[in-house]
Amino acid sequence: MKRRTFLKQMIAQGAAACFPAILPASALGLNGTVAPSNRIALGFIGLGYEGKLKNLRVFMAQPEVQVVALCDVFEKRLRGAHLAMQSYSLKPSAHEFETCFTTRDWREVVARSDVDAVVISTPDHWHALPAIAAAKAGKDVFCEKPLSLTIREGRVLSDVMQQRQRIFQTASEARASIKFLKACEWVRNGRIGKLHTIRVAIYGGFAQGGSPMNINPKPKPVPEGFDYDMWLGQAPEAFYTPVRYTKYRYILDYSGGNLTDWGSHIFNVAQWGNDSDRTGPVSVEGTGRFASDGLFNVATEWNLTYEYANGVKLNCVSGDYHVRFEGSDGWIQTDGDALDASNPDILRSEIGPGEIRLRTCLEGEHRDFLNCVVSREPTFCPAETGHRAVTLGHLGNIALMTGRKLKWNPEAEVFDNDEEANRKISRTMRSPWTLES
């Protein structure tokens, strides 16, 4: 019996565990076990903190998963993750450690016929190309947020996933949060009246509110076993320094700072509550400040305003971290932990028959992905949703760079009559890498 056939039969026999109707892990095999021949074979690309300590660990705990390939450009990380597999595995009869393929070139993972899906936990500038290549090779994809380095990358990635009918999960735990879910359901079902304003706060500075700082590191020798040219990939050639590698998120060649990093989470929730998962704002404007005179050059402060065609305005400021929905009859605010509202009755409100119930999986994005690999139903954060969420961060950065109000066409995904802004939708890739290859 083929792996997918077996798992689909298990789905038909199991009870739902994920809201509203998704398969529980226990239904995939007797006592939570699945024969190795019927497992979902995963290849991992990128084995830093998220890749090793989060994604590899969590996926290996799932009974139907078999890890068949590991990839990282740094030999030290690659070997560390390979060794960690022995302690992560909850399947004593599996021999994943002994048989797992290892490489420093992600293309070798994508090309393997024994890989069903890839898990991408690379720096931001290395999200789109491996995901696109994997889809073209017939693999499903679990990819860390932010989905893309540019708006153009996200558009191509989402289109390829649709064309190839691949399952894609944007790895954002926000949609598995019961607090975010409830807030968005209450908003979508009119508990605060007609929605008119969304207020979003995202950590400014660096990391979670770190103070802006300028770093002027000196070139260092590339560590032994580190394929630095592959790490740079399509980004411009640049000297090696540990800070570039460890703090890439605050360098525009590799990321978009907190606006695209933390923004991918909270913008995702804002779009969810606004029922705009497959579209975006029609304008953006704002003021802010970029780090300068050092290696770090992302925005560290901002006050941005987006307008939607439905009349809703979204204001995003640098500060703490939360989303607040304001309507004609009240407001709801949450950071994913605390949940508050203008009227306590809202917080006790139940979603009744015939009302809008939003799609999630309270067991998390990893469980949801595996369920959908089998069922072939969309995940709770597919490529289009992840793309539209990070696009708000990209639009904010572009508005801050140009210093003026920009008119955005969310269907064509271009700026109206603004050549300078449109040039920032994509970036030139260093040879031999291309987005269409």
Amino acid symbol at 4 = R
Which of 123-127, 169-173, 212-216, 308-312 bottoms out in mean pLDDT, i.e. has the lowest? 212-216
Task: Compute the chain's Rg from CA coordinates.
Answer: 22
Q: Say yes or no to pLDDT of 58 above 50.
A: yes
> What is the per-residue pLDDT for 38?
73
Give start-end residues of each CATH 3.40.50.720 domain in the chain: 3-175
E strand or H helix at 243: helix 242-246
Q: Say yes or no to pLDDT of 9 above 90.
A: no
**The whole model's pTM is what?**
0.91
Give start-end residues of each CATH 3.30.360.10 domain in the chain: 177-351+384-423
Place of tokens 């509202």: 341
* Residue 162 phi, psi (nearest 5): -70, -45
Q: pLDDT of 288-333, one tens digit each?
A: 999 987 899 999 999 999 999 999 999 999 999 999 999 999 999 9
Place of tokens 């990819």: 143
Fold of 177-351+384-423: Dihydrodipicolinate Reductase; domain 2 (3.30.360)
Q: Say yes or no to pLDDT of 20 above 90.
A: no
Q: How confident is the model at residue 437 (pLDDT cuts 50, 70, 90)?
A: low
Q: State the Cα–Cα distance between residues 364 and 349, nearest whole angstrom.
A: 24
Q: pLDDT of 237-247, one tens digit each?
A: 999 999 999 99
Tell me what percent of the residues of the chain surpass a pLDDT of 70.
Answer: 89
E strand or H helix at 196: strand 195-203
**Which one of 3.40.50.720, 1.10.340.30, 3.40.1160.10, 3.40.50.620 gives the CATH number of domain 3-175?**
3.40.50.720
Which of 36-40, 67-71, 342-346, 359-363 bottoms out in mean pLDDT, i.e. has the lowest? 36-40
Q: Which long-range contacts (CB under 8 A, 24 or more apart) does 375-380 make?
A: 375/8, 375/11, 375/22, 375/23, 376/165, 376/167, 378/167, 379/167, 379/168, 379/169, 379/170, 380/169, 380/175, 380/176
Q: pLDDT of 252-274, one tens digit each?
A: 999 999 999 999 999 999 999 99
Which carries the bigger pLDDT value, residue 279 or residue 33? Answer: 279
CA angle 59, 46, 145 (to 5 degrees): 75
